[in-house]
Structure 1
Amino acid sequence: MVLDTTRSSGYRAWEPLTGAARRIALEVLLDGPLSRRDLSRRMALSPGSLTRLTRPLLDSGLLVEADDVEAGPPDASAATTGAGATPRLGRPAQPLAVVPGSHHFIGVKLTGDHAYAALTDLRAEILAADDAPLPGHGPQDVLEVVATLADRLVARLAALSPGAGVTGLGVSVGGHVAGRSVVTDAPHLGWLDVPLGELLAERTGLRTVVENDIVAVTEATHWFGEGHGCDRFALFTIGAGIGYGLVVHGEAVTSPEAGLSLLSHFPLDPQGPLGACGHTGCATAMLTISALVAQGSSALGREVSYDQLLDLAAAGDPVAEAVVQRAGRALGRMLAAVTNLTMPERIVLGGEGVRLAQVAAAAVQDGLHGDRDPRTRDPEIALQSPELARWARGAAVVAIQSFVLGR
């Protein structure tokens, strides 16, 4: 059941779904609208049991009956009689659909110096976005910024949909998170063992879920993004760091080591530069934005930004092109390794540095094919938006999952 209690502050009390109601809501949320027949078949429920279980979800407003569609086998009671009469193909059936606006969530992505926030509905559509710099790295500094962003987005929601409330808050951070609450290690913030979820719940009054940023984006990609409906896909991101997520048979592969950025150390070029982690030609040294900016600035003899380096390479500058093409081949080798080891149907490329895959597309293909058996087929590659609001959306999705899955 869903507790539909909205406080005057605009925050909604949270009672996660459980049991069969949770399974029904999840099926309709991810793949709806669904006819009752399809839903009964998916869940192996009789029509009577399905009606009994969906009634509270309809009464709460989480589900609705969508527009009529023709469904169902021929119904003898609906047949007409008489010469030339045409039998009807069954009664119109109203499929069940989720009401996206029945619940709203706030997601916040924390970087080393900024907080990016997004307000979403139950289907993770971004309704509003906001951001603010972090005045410092102390937990109290971050708490105040997140709380302020949440208050501002609640006010935006009130303007968009008077009377609507926020059900939950999700926060993602680059680092290791334990128990979806405690940030055990966040190098960009200098944090060790900060109980961020508990502190934010006390400060905002919202049930809060904290997760590693790559895990959060992987879940968002799986449920609502480029990986939806794909049995096996890998997410690889390049930006300030290296990120990797894997979904197999419709389930995200999890581990206590998630968030440690293990592929940062993967060797890609034995003649490459030394990475900050001390490894020669590793993914950190070859693909992160800071590494490419340092290599490009050194080669060109002047300071350039990441986008300036890519612009120069795209325009044919030989020095910039050499740096970018080398990185492109390294990216291709990384994709080949991911494909060889995990055999995904699709690889989703994301992160703030994803434009590298476009500017150095030919080099990426060279690197990919160089490390693959010629008898193999290339995985489908999908590019994800680099906007940081999309990362905030990922944080909102882990809150949506916590609500729907009751975890």
Structure 2
Amino acid sequence: MPLEGSGQAVALEVLLHGPLSRAELARRMGLSHASLSRLTKPLVASGLLVEDATAAHRGGMGRPKQPLDVVEEAHHFLGVKVTGDRAYGVVTTMRARTVSRSVVELPDHTVDGVVRVIGDLAERARAEVPELAGIGISVGGLVRDAAVVEQATFLQWTDVPLGAQVRAATGLPVVVENDVTALTEAERWFGAGRHAETFTVLTIGAGVGYGLVAHGRLVTSSDAGLGLVGHTMVAPGGPRCGAGHSGCAGAVLSSDAIAGAVASATGRWTGIDQVLEQAASGEVACVRAVTDAARALGRLIGTAASFSHSPTVVLGGETVAVAQLAREAVDAGIADVRHDEAEAVRLEVRGAGFDEWARAAAVVAVQAFVTGR
């Protein structure tokens, strides 16, 4: 059921931070015990909140106190990340805990073909869980009204009402979102947002992505999805991107850019996965390319931390191994642009697989379900 006002705020607090005792919940919400009881009574009666007997504890005299929690497995959600050749699907609980994964090759780039694949993933999910409450879909590109893919270059799509078509095919609520925006929302609810009200998300892979949460709210605009941060200067005198910008993040940090640096040194093309593997084993050209990219990445991380006024930066994407293989170079890049007296950057590196992107898509479906968006 869609919730509003204080009732929604209470339910969200328990979802994101529970189980919570009524006393702790009242303190967090700034509510009197009487007000909290009035708000939680219908939530418990509806089954959205439950008294968690397994987490009960004694608070002095009397019977054990039972914290409030949500039934995490009561509803499940399908998250789908659509790339140029595959659809990655995960099924999650209400707290975005992944319970299953699937990968399906796209037959083609037609809308009907992609919708069929997502429909097949939904049928698989329905066979695995007692109830599938919604579908979240993420794509790289511009998305309008959480439903329409306004532009997705890698699929050659323009103004595709993907949400409506998948809903017609599955009968389920559907939310469509830009992939980096979805990843940022996942961090806001179930990641960095649990300890920082303001933080930045950066992603490196096929492109360079950027997300910002300020004071607990996602910062976005009609330009989200254009990859604007990819044109930030990070390597003076470096290679040019397709738009002609010298040394910008996209020209230095994308998968093709790193692989291209190795190809320039060796005279042969090596895919990004092999570049990272060979860098880990000490191959000179690969180590040099990864180290140079890591230094530039550090400059981008330091710049993002400065502009957000928050030291917390989350790094995700398919090639996060760059930061893991050459962390000293990342730190040196941060130092290139960061004030000596500024708080140290807190870098949180996430997993590299496409499952992370799919899980983020599931989170936007959870958000829509809980808030009635």
TM-score, length basis structure 2: 0.95
Deviation at 1:70, TM superposition (A): 2.8
SS in 1 for 2:236: coil
Aligned with residue 78 of structure 2, among 98, 106, 122 = 106
- Please give the residue correspondences for 1:37-186 in structure 2 after superposition, counting only pairs within 5 Å: 37-67=23-53, 68-71=56-59, 88-89=60-61, 91-157=63-129, 164-186=130-152
Aligned with residue 402 of structure 1, among 355, 360, 368 = 368
Structure 2 residues not aligned, in runs of 5+: none
Identity of aligned residues (%): 46
For residues 273-310 of structure 1, the C-alpha deviation after alignment (integer angstroms, 9 at most, x for no partner) is: 12233222111110001111122123122231213222
| Residue 239 (1) aligns with residue 225 (2) | no
Aligned with residue 260 of structure 2, among 288, 294, 299 = 294
Deviation at 1:99, TM superposition (A): 0.7
- Please give the residue correspondences for 1:179-258 in structure 2 after superposition, counting only pairs within 5 Å: 179-258=145-224
Q: Tell me the distance in 2 between the aligned counterparts of 1:312 and 1:165.
A: 44
Q: Tell me the distance in 2 between the aligned counterparts of 1:43 and 1:109.
A: 35
Larger mean Cα displacement after TM superposition, 231-240 or 295-304: 295-304
Aligned 8 A contact 2:26 2:36 in 1:
yes
Aligned with residue 318 of structure 1, among 262, 267, 284 = 284
SS in 1 for 2:244: coil
Deviation at 1:44, TM superposition (A): 4.1
SS in 2 for 1:140: helix
Aligned 8 A contact 1:107 1:169 in 2:
yes
Q: Tell me the distance in 2 between the aligned counterparts of 1:57 and 1:102.
A: 14
Q: Tell me the distance in 1 between the aligned counterparts of 2:284 and 2:98.
A: 41
Deviation at 1:64, TM superposition (A): 1.0
What code does the residue aligned with 1:112 have? G
SS in 2 for 1:70: coil
Q: Tell me the distance in 1 between the aligned counterparts of 2:12 and 2:152.
A: 32
For residues 13-67 of structure 1, the C-alpha deviation after alignment (integer angstroms, 9 at most, x for no partner) is: xxx3333332221010011111112223333444344334323322332211013
What code does the residue aligned with 2:208 have? I
For residues 300-323 of structure 1, the C-alpha deviation after alignment (integer angstroms, 9 at most, x for no partner) is: 222312132223333333322222
Q: Tell me the distance in 2 between the aligned counterparts of 1:226 and 1:39.
A: 21
Aligned with residue 362 of structure 1, among 328, 331, 353 = 328
TM-score, length basis structure 1: 0.87
What code does the residue aligned with 2:52 have? A
Aligned 8 A contact 1:329 1:365 in 2:
yes
Aligned 8 A contact 2:311 2:343 in 1:
no
Deviation at 1:91, TM superposition (A): 4.9
Q: Tell me the distance in 2 between the aligned counterparts of 1:119 and 1:42.
A: 31
Deviation at 1:90, TM superposition (A): 5.6
Q: Tell me the distance in 1 between the aligned counterparts of 2:194 and 2:226.
A: 25
Aligned 8 A contact 1:103 1:165 in 2:
yes
Deviation at 1:89, TM superposition (A): 4.4
Aligned 8 A contact 1:134 1:145 in 2:
yes
Q: 1:324 to 1:33 in 2, by over 3 A?
A: same
Name the counterpart of 1:19.
5
Name the counterpart of 2:272.
306
Q: Tell me the distance in 1 between the aligned counterparts of 2:119 and 2:243.
A: 34
SS in 1 for 2:154: coil
What code does the residue aligned with 2:364 have? V
SS in 2 for 1:260: coil
- Please give the residue correspondences for 1:249-288 in structure 2 after superposition, counting only pairs within 5 Å: 249-288=215-254
For residues 114-158 of structure 1, the C-alpha deviation after alignment (integer angstroms, 9 at most, x for no partner) is: 10011111111001111101111111111001001111111122x
Deviation at 1:202, TM superposition (A): 1.0
Q: What count of residue pairs does the alignment treat as equivalent?
A: 371
Q: Tell me the distance in 1 between the aligned counterparts of 2:207 and 2:323.
A: 16
For residues 254-278 of structure 1, the C-alpha deviation after alignment (integer angstroms, 9 at most, x for no partner) is: 2222111110111111221122332
Q: Tell me the distance in 2 between the aligned counterparts of 1:199 and 1:392.
A: 19
SS in 1 for 2:194: coil
Query: Greater share of helix residues, 1 or 2?
Result: 2
**Structural RMSD (CA):** 1.6
For the pair shown, which has the larger CA radius of gyration, 1 or 2?
1
SS in 2 for 1:117: strand
Q: Tell me the distance in 2 between the aligned counterparts of 1:224 and 1:285.
A: 32
Aligned 8 A contact 1:276 1:284 in 2:
no
SS in 1 for 2:206: coil
What code does the residue aligned with 1:29 have? L
What code does the residue aligned with 2:242 have? A
